[in-house]
Chain A
Amino acid sequence: MPLDQAFRLSSVLLAATGFASLTLAIALPLWLLVLAASAFAIALLRAYCSDGLSGIIGRLRFSALTWNIFLLLAFAGFWIDLLLVSQEILPAGIHFLVLLLVNKLSNLDQRRDFLHLYAISLITLLASAALTTHIWYAPFFLIYLVIGVWTLLLYHLLQEQEERAAPGVTHQVPSSLPLPQLTARFFWTTNAMAAGAFGLTLLFFFLIPRVGVGFFQNDRGEHLRTTGFSEHVDLGVMGPVKQDPSIVMRVELPDRKAHESEREPLYLRGVAYNRYDGKSWSNSLPHRRMLTELPEGTFTVRTAGPQSPAAARPLKQDILLEPLDTTVLFGTPLPTSVKGHFLSVQSDLMGSLYLPFPLHTRSQYTVYSSAPRVTAAEKQAAALVYPDLILQHYLQVPAVNEQISELARRITSSATSIAQAVALVRNHLLTQYRYSLDVPSLESSHPLEDFLLTRKTGYCEHYATAMVVMLRTVGVPARLVTGFLATEWNEFGGYYTVRQRDAHAWVEVYFPQSGWITMDPTPPSPDAAAATWWGPANSAMDSMRLKWDRLFVHYSAHDQFTVVQGLREGGEVVRAGLSETLSALSAQGVAIAGRMVSRLTPSGVPQEAIGLLLALAAMYGAMLILRRFRSRTTVHRALSTQQQIVMRLYGNMLQCCAQRGMTKSASTTSLEFLTHIRAQWSEAGPIVDSLTQLYARVRFGHEPVTESELAGAEAQLRTLRLLRRSIPDSQQPSR
């Protein structure tokens, strides 16, 4: 492909990439899409097709006046769009930008038109960056980078070609000049340059200090609507969201190995409720307190109850939370501390964590949790003594049907301990009831009775509510917890993907010594999503999305600080190790050298002098090595050893001639010098001739030399050294 054609093609493709990324970021009007697509198609045909078709397309062009009128109309349209139609600067500006793009694509004649096109394409990419953070931006960016390198390189080469062909005329793009073709080597070299540019881009991206001044920031973001985390939760509100596949968060367990996490469901606690009025749950302990921030960014939860010794090692969870319409922070039961970039974190008396306001953007935080277990003593205890506060707030039962109380007593009648009674209630619910989302609970006036006594089908909220009410009926303090049950393990990214449909409710039962123990009476859903053939692809894509989000979209100054700190700590460890090793080695070396010097030094000579001599010898050796390296790496690097010998011999010959008063200046060529020698020192002529011929063969012809030739040259040089120069008569001083 000729250079000119490749240049035009890459220019149009560059603009097309920017435009495509823009169309994915914002919904453009159909007429604008059609107009732009037509302009691209014509520009591509003009760039790529043969002369005949290009000629036909060329005749379809509008006059300059038409385009000027088009631009004026576009400008007027921009103001109308801004003031009347979209009434926002960004969409109106983008529509105007697309019209400018159409204009430039249709008038690619002069060099400045191409420059304008590049500027517009860059602005389109910038606009799409402002409008989206989705992962599809990444391939468009990469393509834009590669085509950008191609285009800039071709632009430069074409410009240079034109300057050489017609110096001074640089503004036109002549089509009649015979231009070089693109070769395979050029193709790969340019792609290698693009790869280099990409590598540098990544380097700069991670190194540029993140300074967000934010004078004109627009922080508006769309929240994901959640249910089940407000102050009052009606029984059955979770049903509608159980089909929603929207991702709510992703959870990594950095301290746990992948195979340990793969099949184990993870409870992510949101809000706990203690008061049930027969139709909805609420919190009678709404008082929240600010958590202590120590150290900076780490908020510690003050645990009121006893701490189980089994829960000494907290579980660390890195959570990437999507922007939700709730202020609740999620974590596995029960959170002990939260680490994140938050102004403050609050906690209520039931251990739920809250932010002061909902998050506008995707946020990452770390939760440390300690899951308590029932102690052996409490497992066996037939009766437990509860604190008054617990009895006051966690035994409330609404006016429910007496049959429910009877049912609870009947289930727990055979229990010999509290723990066993809890287990019996849970087992009863797990085995005697059927999981179904097809339950119109919100319309029912007695949803719990409907579930337990009539329909015997329901979902997590029904099961959890039933268990809490039944346990409270028999005097066991319990509460309902809403959150998410993460079951979808992403094997590519090594994290749990939590979706809206994973919203869940379960129970926490109180044991005076052990604390609040998580119990889930809900059986697995029979409608759980079956594995599909595209499941792994989805997982891989989601993993890539997560990486894109973490590494690019939400890369922050804190990440940079963490990397620098990690490097510094790593560097300090390496430096300490190295210095220890070196000091040990140097101590041994000094000791050995000291012993050797004391043995070798004759009495009377100070050891410092010997040390100085050794240091000087080492410096001289280093200089020699350096000189040798330099001579190898500079002029004679491409020559063999024998060829270098020839060049050295020629240098010696020049030195010999210079000693006889015949110096070769830098501007004199070898053959000129030979002529000079023949005229001024005829005896040396044959020798210099022979050595010069050999030198020219090696130096400029890169020909190999034989051993006999080398020996002959050395012999001739020896003869030359013995020769005495007789000064010609013309140069003798007159008497």
Chain B
Amino acid sequence: MTLPTLLHRLSRHRTIRVTTEGGRFLLLTLAVGVAAVNTGNNLFYLLLAMMLSLIVLSGLLSEQSVRQLEFHRHLPDTLFANQPATATLWIANRKSHLPSVSLRLHDVVAGQDHDRSIHLTHLAPGASTLRPYTLRIRRRGRYQLDGIRVVTPFPFGLFQKKAFYEQAASVLVCPGLLALPPMLIQDLTAAGHDHAVSRRGPGHSLYNLREFRPGDDSRAIHWMTTARTAKLMLKETEAEDQRLITLAVFTVAPDEDEETFEQALSIAASLIDRFLNDGLRVRVLLGDHQELQADGNETPLHLFHALALCERRPVTDKTAAQHALVHALRRSQDGPTVLLSAWADPPLREMFPAVDRILTPQTHKDLFDAAGSSLPA
């Protein structure tokens, strides 16, 4: 183990930062120390000892405050970027006699502290408490929490002692959901009416009568026809409002369009959410290797998770990705198809002639704020 590694490990668990007041106090202590050494006056030494004792007492009491704590973090299963969610932190003081005072708790993500505004004024010995806090994550993807940093300026506010507690956890952050304009949705769903094909499914209108097969639902037996034909006949209904819409995401984009790619995924997630809420079935083609489906009756978490983990591909993969996506689109059963691409430069209409609509973040800049981040839904 090298020395820097050792120092890093040591500093990871305990660090001390001098506050503004602490800096002034240290300067005064230094001045008194110089005066004491210069004059040899023992009463100056007494003052110096008092100031040093306050510094040491700060260290001892702050150490008592941050040690022997136990944490348990409860995170939501799924988060959406830029969308506030509530997480909870359970904190217990495992000391038998001493309380923990003036604690501020930070999440540690990739070595960086993230202040969640959790303040604990006093936690009695052996007591525990539950603190909800708002978690708002800017980027989609896997959000890895390393642990919890406990910060205390107790007792005098001269120093801030930081202690690190390992509390690894991860949560999948889906792309942020946008407030899509109703006109856009209407336009996209209207495109699907041309492709409406009747098919069997849950509903009330008669689609077909056929002979009963083992495993069929006996409640669906059409008794009048059964009586007429002397065979067990089954009534099949036509699916109501379960039209399929295909959302293809072209994952190829140049490096400079990284942010645009994220916006494209945000639009995709927002469209999926909106379509499913409207009762449509959604088929998602993510690049050239993922094809997922969901309908309004099920939780579309797997779609959001796929979007959360979707990676941008470099422009060198353009041809292969295009061919694969075109091939997947050809297998499209029915319903309209919408293509989302972060890369607006190539002739998308020529590359994907079969799609009904092509969306790019560049064409819908009004969905994003000036900084480029998505406006929350």
Q: Chain A residues in contact with chain B, CB under 8 A?
A: 115, 119, 122, 125-126, 129-130, 132-133, 137, 141, 145, 148-149, 152-153, 155-157, 159-160, 163-164, 167, 193, 196-205, 208, 210-218, 552-555, 634-635, 637-638, 666-667, 669, 700
Contacts and interface: CB of A to CB of B under 8 A. Distances in A.
The 4 closest A-B pairs by CB, nearest first: A212-B40, A200-B53, A156-B157, A129-B43
Interface stretch (B69-77, B224-232, B237-245, B362-370): B69-77
Nearest to A152: B156
Given A115-B24, A197-B50, A200-B57, A159 B157 contact: yes
Interface in B37-77: 37-50, 52-54, 56-57, 60-61, 68, 70, 72-75
A130 B155 contact: no
Contacts of A159: 157
20 contacts: A122-B32, A130-B41, A130-B43, A137-B43, A153-B156, A155-B157, A157-B102, A160-B121, A164-B121, A193-B57, A197-B57, A200-B52, A205-B46, A208-B48, A208-B52, A217-B40, A634-B68, A667-B73, A667-B75, A669-B74
B153 interface: yes
Contacts of A204: 48-49, 52-53, 56
B159 to A, nearest CB: 11
A164 B117 CA distance: 9
A137 B47 CA distance: 11
B203 interface: no
Contact of A152 (B42, B155, B167, B170): B155
Contact of A156 (B44, B102, B169, B170): B102
Contacts of A635: 70, 94
Contact of B102 (A160, A215, A555): A160
Contacts of A129: 41, 43-44, 46-47
B102 A217 contact: no
A216 B49 CA distance: 22
Contacts of A555: 42, 45
Contacts of A667: 73-75, 169-170
Contacts of B168: 666
A307 to B, nearest CB: 41
Contact of B47 (A126, A133, A155, A200): A126
A701 B128 CA distance: 11
Nearest to B35: A126
A127 to B, nearest CB: 11
Given A145-B50, A152-B54, A200-B56, A119 B28 contact: yes
A4 to B, nearest CB: 16
B46 A637 contact: no
A167 B117 contact: yes
B14 interface: no
A457 B39 CA distance: 52
Given A119-B28, A129-B47, A666-B169, A554 B41 contact: no
Contacts of A203: 49, 53
Interface in B138-170: 153-158, 167-170
Interface in B156-191: 156-158, 167-170
Given A156-B102, A156-B157, A553 B53 contact: no
A700 B90 CA distance: 11
B150 to A, nearest CB: 15
A634 B68 CA distance: 8
B201 interface: no
Given A122-B28, A126-B44, A160 B38 contact: no
B146 to A, nearest CB: 12
B49 A156 contact: no
Contact of B42 (A160, A196, A553): A553
A148 B68 CA distance: 29
Contacts of B119: 160, 163-164
A193 B155 contact: yes
B126 interface: yes
B156 A201 contact: no
B96 interface: yes
A156 B21 CA distance: 10
Contacts of B74: 667, 669
Given A156-B154, A635-B94, A667-B73, A130 B44 contact: yes
A141 B47 CA distance: 8
B49 A205 contact: yes
Nearest to B153: A156
Residue of A137, A167, A205, A638 most packed against chain B (CB within 10 A): A205
Nearest to B88: A669
Contacts of A638: 94, 96, 126
Given A156-B157, A193-B61, 9 more contacts: A119-B24, A132-B43, A152-B155, A201-B50, A201-B53, A204-B56, A211-B40, A553-B42, A638-B94
Interface in B228-281: none
A129 B53 CA distance: 18
Nearest to B33: A208
A310 B346 CA distance: 120
A638 B96 CA distance: 7
A208 B39 contact: no
Contacts of B72: 669
A177 B68 CA distance: 33
A214 B44 CA distance: 13
Contacts of A554: 42
Contacts of B126: 638
B94 A133 contact: no
Given A126-B35, A634-B94, A141 B153 contact: no
A160 B153 contact: yes
Given A155-B157, A156-B102, A638-B96, A208 B49 contact: yes
A153 B53 contact: no
Nearest to A209: B37
A213 B37 contact: yes
Contacts of B37: 211-213
Nearest to A138: B46
Nearest to B121: A160
A115 B168 CA distance: 41
A217 B39 contact: yes
Contacts of B117: 167
B228 to A, nearest CB: 38
A430 B242 CA distance: 135
A213 B153 contact: no
